[in-house]
Structure formats: structure tokens, C-alpha cells
């Protein structure tokens, strides 16, 4: 295996890269990454009816987290955010959460909502549109496919 920017190349032909972090909430899923450079609050930052980010001046404002693998540095805000994430999970919530540093509010929400979650990941290595596989039990994030970049 070779290493590139701290990622292990696990399949040379398919260009899969595996990032190793800390397992927080069990489950394995695949989906499309939605990446933010800013912390996110589920209470007041995400519309619980639609799953659209409504936090003013947030880089994801107006974007839906529904069914996405939500990657952001860390959470912030009230402990009620755990319940908001729980209520989002079944209809309008993310498929998985990837953080650089987990906030306890987000972890509790992910665990009770059964949303796979990993932290300790440098999210700068992931871009919106990448296809990911998150394994919350192993603490891994595999980049299965890179979104085509404009050059």
C-alpha cells in the first residue's frame, strides 16, 4: 500500500483511499459527500422539516443534508441539537457524519439516531460530490470516487 496525503491507497485501479479516524456511532453506508469548512448547529442551523441548512452566513446555507454524508469540522450549539439530529435522521437527515473533532451533542444525536459517525478525519481531503463509504464501527472513511474537478 502506498500513502498519499495521509491516505492509504487500498485499490490502485479504482483509486480508493481510506482515511482512518475514531469510531463513534456504528453502521456502514455509502453516499455522496457534502463538505463544510464551518462548524454546524443542528438546533437552528438546519430546518428539521426539510433538512436544508438555514444557518446565516454558513457555507452550506440553502443546501440539503438529506441522504448526504455530512462532513464538517465539529458541531456547536445547544444540547437540544442531539434531539434535532435524531428527529432529522428518519426523513431529512444525513446518511452519515464525518468530523475532524466530534462534539458530544452531535455524537449523542448520531448514536440515538443510528447514524454512522467517525471523527479524527482531515475533511480537507474530502470534497463535496465525492462518493464515500463510512464505517462507524471501524472508524474509516473510504473515498470510492472523486467528483470530477474543473481545471
Pairs from 106-110 (Cβ < 8 Å, separation ≥ 24): 106/42, 106/74, 106/75, 106/81, 106/82, 107/24, 107/25, 108/79, 108/82, 109/42, 109/81, 109/82, 109/83, 109/84, 109/85, 110/24, 110/25, 110/85, 110/136
Q: Phi, psi at residue 101, to the nearest 5°? A: -135, 120
Q: How confident is the model at residue 27 (pLDDT cuts 50, 70, 90)?
A: very high
* Per-residue pLDDT at 77: 86
* Per-residue pLDDT at 136: 98
* 78 tagged catalytic: yes
Which residue is catalytic, options 2, 25, 78, 82?
A: 78
* Per-residue pLDDT at 8: 46
Q: How confident is the model at residue 148 (pLDDT cuts 50, 70, 90)?
A: confident
- Summarised one tens digit per residue, pLDDT across range 75-122 is 998 899 999 999 999 899 999 999 999 999 999 999 999 999 999 999
pTM for this predicted structure = 0.88
CA distance 34 to 19: 16
* Per-residue pLDDT at 16: 80
CA neighbor of 6 nearest in space, from 121, 100, 97, 117:
121
Domains in the chain (CATH in brackets) are: 21-125 (3.50.30.10)
pLDDT over threshold 90, residue 37: yes
* Per-residue pLDDT at 149: 64
- Summarised one tens digit per residue, pLDDT across range 40-81 is 999 999 999 999 999 999 999 999 999 999 999 999 988 999
Handedness of CA 29, 33, 34, 35 (dihedral sign): positive
CA distance 122 to 116: 17
Q: Which residues are CB-neighbours of 114 under 8 A, at least 6 positions away? A: 25, 26, 27, 89
Amino acid at each position: 500500500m502506498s500513502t498519499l496525503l495521509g491516505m492509504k491507497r487500498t485499490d490502485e485501479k479504482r483509486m480508493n483511499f481510506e482515511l482512518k479516524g475514531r469510531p463513534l456511532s456504528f453502521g456502514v453506508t455509502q453516499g455522496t459527500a457534502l463538505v463544510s469548512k464551518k462548524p454546524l448547529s443542528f438546533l437552528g442551523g438546519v430546518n428539521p422539516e426539510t433538512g436544508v441548512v438555514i444557518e446565516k452566513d454558513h457555507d452550506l446555507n440553502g443546501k440539503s443534508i438529506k441522504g448526504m454524508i455530512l462532513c464538517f469540522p465539529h458541531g456547536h450549539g445547544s444540547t437540544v441539537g442531539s434531539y434535532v439530529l435524531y428527529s432529522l435522521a428518519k426523513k431529512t437527515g444525513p446518511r452519515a457524519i464525518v468530523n475532524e473533532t466530534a462534539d458530544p451533542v452531535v455524537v449523542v444525536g448520531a448514536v440515538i439516531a443510528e447514524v454512522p459517525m467517525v471523527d479524527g478525519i482531515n475533511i480537507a481531503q474530502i470534497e463535496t460530490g465525492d462518493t464515500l463509504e463510512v464505517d462507524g464501527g471501524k472508524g474509516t472513511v473510504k473515498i470510492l470516487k472523486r467528483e470530477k474537478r474543473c481545471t
